[in-house]
Every structure is written in C-alpha cells, then in structure tokens.
Amino acid sequence: MRLLAAGLLLLAPLCAAFYLPGLAPVSFCDDDKESEGCKSLIELFVNRLDSVESVLPYEYDAFDFCQDKEEKRPSENLGQVLFGERIASSPYKFTFKKQETCKKVCTRSYDPENSADKSKLAFLKKGMQLNYQHHWIIDNMPVTWCYDVEDGQKFCNPGFPIGCFVTPDGRVKDACVINSEFNKKNTFYLFNHVDITIMYHSGKDENWPGARLVMARLRPQSYKHTDENNLSCEGPPMEIPGEFTNKLNLIYTYSVTFEEKNNIKWASRWDYILESMPHTNIQWFSIMNSLVIVLFLSGMVAMIILRTLHKDIARYNQIDSSQLHWKAELTEDLCNAIHPFTSEDAQEEFGWKLVHGDVFRPPRKGMLLSVFLGQGTQIFIMTFITLFLACLGFLSPANRGALMTCAVVLWVLLGTPAGYVSARMYKTFRGEKWKTNVLLTALLCPGIVFADFFIMNLILWVKGSSAAIPFGTLVAILAMWFGISVPLTFIGAYFGFKEKPIEHPVRTNQIPRQIPEQSFFTKPLPGIIMGGILPFGCIFIQLFFILNSIWSHQMYYMFGFLFLVFIILLITCSEATVLLCYFHLCAEDYHWWWRSFLTSSFTAVYLFIYAVHYFFSKLQITGTASTILYFGYTMIMVLIFFLFTGTIGFFACFWFVSKIYSVVKVD
C-alpha cells in the first residue's frame, strides 16, 4: 500500500535531539573476547533491488547473485510488506576487526546452450540496463556508496548499482561514467567486487561493553578474475558481451576493512547519511522561502477577512438598531418584500446578509458530501497523529516500515469518528436514508482505494515483483477493514444519528431566493480553480522531495519541516476557503456547501498535474507496467489528499458562516 504512504511521507529534524533508533544497540568484540552480550560475527543483510527507471522492485534472490546457504529472513511488519521490502541474510559475513582482501564469495557459470542459464543472464543484463540498485544492511544501517559530484562535494547513496551498460552506439550509461575503461560498445560491466569499510566506536569512555558500529560504506568494483584460486582484484573490468555466445564465469569477491571512529556517537550514527543527501541546502532555503511567502499570504487573507467583516457587521448593526422597532412587527415575507425599498444601500453593500434565509438550505447530493466529510475526518486525524509520532522519532527511518504500519493501524482504528461525522452532517442535511449513509461511509472511499490497490498488486504479481503483496496479507487487510474499521464506523454512526441535528443560527425560508447574475470570478468553477492555488503553493516544494523519496528512492528525513508545512496547509486551506466563501455570499450566492469542500480540495487536482509533470520531466521510467503503476498509486494519493483538504476547507467555512450569522441576530 504504497498509496497511503504517498499521501503521508512525513517528519524529524525539529525533534532530532529526541531521536529513537529502530533497534536496540548491539556490541561487537574480537573473536577471542566474544560473550553473550558481545558478539564477533557481523552479518550483512540484503534488501530488495529497485531502479529509478522502473517502478517494479525485485527480491535479491530474483537475480542470480551469491545466496546464503542457510538463508534467514527477519520478521517483517505490515509497513515493510506493503512497501515491498524483502530483507534476507547474505553470504557476506565478517568477523569484527578481521581484515579481508579479495575474498571469494561464490562463482556463477553460464552456458549459452542451457536455456535456464540464458534466462538468468538475460535478467541480470536487464537489471544492469535499467540501473537496478543493491540495498545492503549492516547492523540496521544502510551500507552507502559515496562518490564525488560537482564542486568537490560528496554524495552518498544508500544503494549501489548491479553494473552498467554501454549502448551499441557507444553511449555510456549511468555508473559506467566512473571508469574510463568502461568504453566497449554493446557491453555490460558487472560490479562483482565490493570494498567495504566498517567504522566503529570502540566504547572508550562509554558504559557499554565492546564496540558499536557507527558507519558502513562500500565501493563497487569490476574485476575480471581469471583464476578463482589466485584472486588479486586487479586488472581489466568484468565484461559481459551484449551477445551471449560463449561460456561465462562470474566470480564475486569482497574486501573488508575496519576503522575506529570514536568521534561519532552511536545515537547519531544516521547523521552521515542524512547530511550527505543531495540538495540539502537548497531544500532548507526553499522551505524557509516558501514558509515566509505562505505566512505573508495567510496574514493578508486573515486581515482582509477580519477588517472587512468587522466593518460590515458594525455598519449593518447600526442600520438594524434604527429599524428594529418596526421590523419586529413585520412577517418575514413582508420584510423581504419591502426591504429593497427601505434599505437599498444596505442590500447593495451587505449582500451576504440578504441570503440569511437560504444560507443553511441543505445541499444537493448531501449524502455524498457527508460521506466525504466522514472519510476526510478519518484521514485528517490519522495524518496528524502519524506526523506527531514521527516528529518524536518513533517512526524514524531506522525503524523500518513503522510509518506505514502506524498509518494503516490508525486508519483502521479511526472508523468511529468517520461514522460519527458522516452521520451527524447527514442528519443536519435532513437526510433520512441512514443505512445507506453508514454503508457508503464504511465502504465507498476505502473500496475505491482497495480496488485500485488490488489492480496494481495484480500487475506486480504478474511481473514477479517483490512489491506484490502476498495473499495472506491481503486477507489480513480485508479482515482489519471489515472486522475492525466497518464495525467502528457503525458505532460512530449510531452516536452521530442519536445526536440532535446541528442547530443553525437563522431559519431557512420555504421558497429559495433567486440568485442574481454572477460575475466571472464569483461563478463556481473559476472560484474553485483559484481556491486551490494558494494551498498548493505552500506544499509543492515539499512535494518534490516527497516524490523523490517515493519514486527516485531517496531518503526523506525532513519530518519536522513537513509537520510545519502540514500546519500551514491547514491554515491556508481554511483561510482561502473562507475568503472565497465570503465573496460568494456577498454576491448573494448561497450555494456554499459543496463549493467550500471543492475549493480547497481542488488542491488535489494541482497535485495530480504536478505528478504528471514530475513523471515526464524528472523520471526516467520506461515500460507500460511501470507507467500504469505510477499513475495508479498517484490516483490513490490524489484521492486521499482530495478528501483531506476538502474536509478542512468545509469545516472552516461551516464555522465561519455559522459565526457571522449568529453575531448578526436575524429573526
């Protein structure tokens, strides 16, 4: 369910001091000093392989690499399964502080006469052609590959490529640019050797036994080993010709060294990964710049609303006080009939006051609106709690899969507020089909998400991807949905229908008032389109980095700033919706229910447009399956964002309208 994550990738730097690692610390000792609390064996685990050119990740075992004879798989939480993480043990095992040079791991042989060998080698070549990346783990830390980039800076990637490819026309692709020897046309170069450096804190002046690992880096190399009994890890690179005609032997080797680094604390050992991420300085500057702009615009919107509305209420109350002695004696219909002649100036200047008898008229399609509001409330609470926990460090990158697990579990447990809000609003809209309302609240939006996700999962299953969710997990998700979320929604709906309808400050006329001709800017569609611009403006910079973390496999860690942007988004959605709602009421257009929801939820449309732009301008994804998967998951993210922002805008506008019509007493 990469879906919810897409709408949820969230928080940490503001709370960096409260960082909670994902696993308990492990101490390492020399081989002759091993004890129960201090071990000498360092195991390297492998995760799925992914690529920026494909949405389809694959397990390590899908490629014909060296495999552990006694393969172990750590238990995976729900979030890891939904994200397609497949962690397994590997044959790369080290002894603490024992140096190894050019040690053989295994040999893989391929015969062009053997169809199975041809298939395995073809799949390996495809992985190199699409630039698939290894992801290795030592002591729960990503093993990073660091290399120099522009301006003498160093970039560390939590993965390294299988190999690289030089096209038949001589174009050097991807990692082949790092070595001038990778120059033969229509040739694949396999990284069959790694130089691993493990850095540790010796434990000096600390209260723990032994040493603790604080950093792990590697450098991929390509060597053509000719004699597996006499390995030197020197010489020409390991070439795999584009045309497989002769027998081929691939020998995998590694070297490992250990370095003492007592200046790196174990609690901050992930900092070296975060500090070396690309565009960090640009991201900080862009976030601050965006924050200043959004705060300025939000302040301007608030000032316009408060000053203008205060002026309207004060002047209208002044008019009311001079006419109160005879207005109280007139019926409402008679008052409406003579009002244009007795207070013509007030009608022109205070248009929002003239629609008091229609402003709370129930909207069309109130059933659907109430269902959207219930689901939006559920998503809002889930997002807020998830972000807050992530800000405290409980959902840090070290705790793999915790973010997704937390989001899914919270969504399941928050069925009660969804049912309550939906039922309460539907009753306020004077709806009577309460059974339909409850069923739609529990099934409509989750059903759309699950159907989309199920189709995406079928594509992943057909392609043999590791991201395909096992059947047992699908059954577990359905059990959580129907066994926990649906009953909780029914309970919430029961209490919602039991409550009295929300009382409005003014009565609704029996005969709807005619809406005058509207200008272009006060018509529904232009207002809705304009309303989504300001909220989108405060998130698009963060959205770029979130999409990078999802589709370009970069690590996202700016959770604290994301939480701040989340709060700004709430304020901006609320203020933009209230401002446009006020303008429409001033134009005597009282159809604000749906418009208030759609004004802020139109931000999701801009999000989709940006995702399309990102796909064509930033990504290198190829293939029909990957394209379908990208837009399938994007549509889930857009739906979640649509419900979330629409609900925020609606309730802000609902509060605003109720407030202004209760301040000016109209009977």
460-469 per-position pLDDT tens digit: 999 888 888 8
Asked if residue 298 has pLDDT above 80, the reply is no
619-631 per-position pLDDT tens digit: 878 788 889 999 9
Asked if residue 293 has pLDDT above 60, the reply is yes
367-411 per-position pLDDT tens digit: 999 999 999 999 999 999 998 888 887 777 777 778 888 999 999
Asked if residue 483 has pLDDT above 70, the reply is yes
Do residues 185 and 201 lie in contact, with contact meaning Cβ atoms separated by under 8 Å? no
pLDDT value of residue 344: 43
Distance CA(315)–CA(649), nearest Å, equals: 28
pLDDT value of residue 10: 34
Give the range among 259-273, 314-328, 503-517, 570-584 with minimum mean pLDDT: 314-328
Do residues 52 and 131 lie in contact, with contact meaning Cβ atoms separated by under 8 Å? yes
Q: What is the DSSP string of 583-641?
A: HHHHTT----HHHHHHHHHTHHHHHHHHHHHHHHHT----SHHHHHHHHHHHHHHHHHH
Do residues 403 and 10 lie in contact, with contact meaning Cβ atoms separated by under 8 Å? yes
266-291 per-position pLDDT tens digit: 777 777 666 555 555 555 666 676 67
H helices, E strands: number in the chain: 21, 17
25-79 per-position pLDDT tens digit: 888 988 888 777 788 899 999 998 988 888 888 999 889 899 888 888 877 788 7
